Structure 1
Amino acid sequence: MFGLFKKKSEREMLEEQYRKLTEESFKLSTTNRSKSDAKAAEAEEVMKKLEALSN
């Protein structure tokens, strides 16, 4: 309850965005492969940002 108004760090926001993109990619993989590949590529870009942030 005390963390209710706590702002998320940039790293936490990127991790959440990466998780959502990978989930969308997985769901799309059964119906539309090209959209799934596009989401996976977006997720890779977010992962690169995360790696750059940690270095």
Structure 2
Amino acid sequence: MTVGGVEERNQDATIYVGGLDEKTTESILWELFLQAGPVVNVHMPKDRITMQHQGLV
């Protein structure tokens, strides 16, 4: 739907990001995502054995 020439966007959205460097942290992503709008949660799944994130959010 368009209102005043600007398309409305879904404010309740989930995004998936992959191919992240092993040095990427949740706090870095939080700061980057905040530049696009409000952030509710950032979750980086970790390997159960190595406890390293799996390169995706």
Which one has a larger percent strand, Structure 1 or Structure 2?
2
User: Fold match, TM over 0.5?
Assistant: no
- The TM-score normalised by the length of structure 1 is 0.29
User: Which protein has the bigger helix share?
Assistant: 1
